Structure 1
């Protein structure tokens, strides 16, 4: 089999899931684009003679040497945020496949089982909860909660999984599968400019800051936009808008904390209709998130009361700060020539797994510093350098 570079593999899937409206890519779990990428991954795994399996939660595993204990596992995800970049997720998958090629070219045969994994719904772009596949497998997300999740079209995760050939009754914690993992390494495009400033193509991960998502639902009185006097309205869009502005103000006063409203959904959503409800999603990250969320909720309640509306706050996901395994981090850094260790404000499947197995991250330089947007980028030379680095550490860990 001819060797295929990571940058070449990434080019192979460049047309899958392009978003002609938003720009970039929209690939969400069990939609057409993501299913096409799963089929592509299966074909690439078969071409390398890897044993492919889909677990009870829809994650894909390609095994070199067959499943077994103390496995060295690498991989990432294939889904994206709406209108996301080409690298977030797929870079870790194509680099893992390329690393298998590089190891074989170097004459390396793993003494331990080695697997490339594709986790489902890492971004939460369809069902709202990030790292859904890894959370389900580790048991950190109850199956009954996951099965009730709905996408913007009202389709439940249970129904979407069933249509894709999964048995909803088997979805949930998979301790036997997680127990096979000896160590896990995830390669990812850097979501920031640390490597640009340091002048290197690759780094290891140190920490992931605490982060969570909340939904605020404002309720008022839907009505006719032309027939309802301005002083006779209970319009939930007003307190929703005031809350969006308050989020920026409140987070700006909390050191090292970031808070964002990236999604707002009025119901029913007509141009000539006063909304009856408005959902606002809050993403908050950093050391002072609890107090920020409390202040945002207080501002939302005050704004809702002033308009004669109500508001309900619901937590959709939460992840504490993660410190990646220090021994594994230092081992990888030394193996790669003492590359730097960088923190991140972005969540990853590696962070979910870190509570159960030694886990690490490799980052590849992103010259724009932009992520979750079409401008996300990595030079082909850096992409291939990342795959070479991943092959190096996998060879060491699988001795």
Structure 2
């Protein structure tokens, strides 16, 4: 197999491989408008401008790199550059790098687009800083209320509106961007697969058929803060104990609903001292299922299990984001699969910006095999051979669409 990086293809992954490395968590931590993600934005701008693309940032923080003049009915291809805490190298950046490389290949072949074309980088896809996944595409499409978005806070108490000002945006202009939406004729996102579908099929590529219904909820438990040494066990109202019982209930509720997934991946104690019984504990629930009704039923089951919280504590459940089941345009997916030699179609349990846009514009996704089947982890991987197949697929599809 040729050295793809030496030949220029996928060199972008190597160029950003040192950006945002997380020595504590492993992998990468690249969060919106913080140093690592800002460095990636600068890298993308420089890389795109080297190709002669005109780069602009829209009012919601998404970055567009136009090949030729911007206009309606554009073919837009891209992904995101931010990451979960301690994430892998491929989730997001593979799609961005592959899109730039596909454009470079077409330019080298003398292809001249007959319709507008852009590479798009979405802001805050993972929701790791402000808690709402796909925030850039939700704002662009109007899928989230702008006032709600402005009020979102990070762990340091900085609001999204305040961070937007620091990034050079006007918070008053956040929200649905109809002009930008009207430019998108087709949106295509290449992404490393987050699961084992392509492993089981022994295939390097697939088109997406659907995305599971999914959302995020904050589970809050309040009790009595007190001294860890001076308070007898029988005198405690410890919300950490209530949270622990709830986390076990979360797992059981998902197991009781075949095909559902429910995860508590983040927990915060207030005030957070080792020798302090917390006064409050917050846990964040991620729940997913094949249908909207099933996902809602799982969360309802979890909520019901909290009606009598342990340790004399109070419990509340607050929805922070929701995306119903997404079914990608079957005609577009079939057209793309046929153009690529009849590659398979796969559902996914992972959310994507393409899934948010699917309710507004024709949208498709292309998955590249992940031989570990692991994602949101440093063990996430894709071989150079499969990554090259993804670039070649984008080349083929852009030739057909442009």
Q: Unpaired runs of 5+ in structure 2? A: none
Q: Any conservation in 1 of the 2:10–2:101 contact (CA below 8 Å)? A: no
Are positions 1:198 and 2:204 aligned together?
A: no
Q: Does 1:32 align with 2:38?
A: no
Q: Give the C-alpha shift of residue 382 in structure 1.
A: 1.1
For residue 336 of structure 1, the aligned residue among 335, 340, 344 is: 340
Match for residue 393 of structure 1 among 392, 397, 400: 397
Report what 2:371 is aligned to: 367
Hey, what does 2:278 align to over in structure 1?
A: 275
| Stretches (4+) displaced over 2 A | 2-7
Q: 1:231 maps to which residue?
A: 234
Q: Within the alignment, does 1:154 sit opposite 2:157 as a pair?
A: yes
Aligned to 1:105: 108
**Match of residue 319 from structure 1:** 323
Conservation of the 8 A alpha-carbon contact between 2:222 and 2:313: yes
Q: Does the aligned pair in 1 maintain the 2:31–2:83 contact within 8 Å?
A: yes
SS at match of 2:268: strand
Query: Which residue among 6, 10, 17 is the counterpart of 1:7?
Result: 10
Cα deviation, residue 106, structure 1: 2.6
The question of whether the paired residues in 2 share the 8 Å contact of 1:5 and 1:384 is answered with no
Deviation at 1:298, TM superposition (A): 1.6
The equivalent residue for 1:293 is: 299
| Distance in 1 between residues matched to 2:358 and 2:31, nearest whole Å | 24
Query: Whole-Å Cα distance in 1 between the matches of residues 7 and 159 of structure 2?
Result: 38
Number of the residue aligned with 1:355: 359
Question: For residues 8 and 329 of structure 2, what CA distance do their matches in structure 1 show?
Answer: 29
Between the aligned partners of 1:232 and 1:110, the Cα distance in structure 2 is: 72
Deviations 1:120-154 (A, max 9, x none): 00000000000000000001101100010011111
* Corresponding position of 1:92: 95
Equivalent in the alignment of 1:131: 134
CA distance in 2, matches of 1:197, 1:238: 40
Distance in 1 (alpha carbons) for counterparts of 2:358 and 2:296:
23
- Check conservation: 2:87, 2:376, Cα contact below 8 A: yes
Please say if 1:302 is aligned against 2:308: yes
**What residue is the counterpart of 1:57 in the other structure?**
60
Structure 1: unaligned runs, 5 residues or longer: none
Matched, 1:212 2:215: yes
Q: Which moved more, 1:307-316 or 1:57-66?
A: 307-316
**CA displacement 1:41-80 (0-9 Å, x = unmatched):** 0000110000110000010000001210100000000000
**SS at 1:57 equivalent:** coil
Q: Please give the alpha-carbon distance, in whole angstroms, between the structure 2 residues aligned to 1:120 and 1:7.
A: 22
Q: What is the distance in 2 between the residues matched to 1:6 and 1:211? A: 34
In the alignment, the residues of structure 2 paired with residue 109 and residue 3 of structure 1 have an alpha-carbon distance, to the nearest angstrom, of 26
- What is the CA-CA distance between 1:3 and the residue it aligns to? 9.9
Aligned residues: 395
CA distance in 2, matches of 1:5, 1:139: 38
Report the secondary structure of 1:23's partner residue.
coil
In 2, the alpha carbon distance for the partners of 1:28 and 1:190 equals 21
Q: Whole-Å Cα distance in 2 between the matches of residues 254 and 109 of structure 1?
A: 51
Residue 176 (structure 1) aligned with residue 179 (structure 2): yes
- With the length of structure 1 as denominator, give the TM-score of the two structures: 0.97
C-alpha deviation, 1:112, in angstroms: 0.4
Q: 1:205 to 1:176 in 2, by over 3 A?
A: same
**C-alpha spacing 1:114/1:23, structure 2 compared with 1 (3 Å):** same
8 Å CA contact 1:68, 1:180 repeated in 2: yes
Q: When the two structures are superposed, what TM-score results if normalisation uses the length of structure 2?
A: 0.97
**Aligned equivalents of 1:367 and 1:168: distance in 2?**
42
2:398 and 2:15 mapped to 1: Cα distance?
A: 24
**Secondary structure of the structure 2 residue equivalent to 1:307:** helix
Distance 1:298 1:34 in 2: 39
1:380 aligns with 2:384: yes
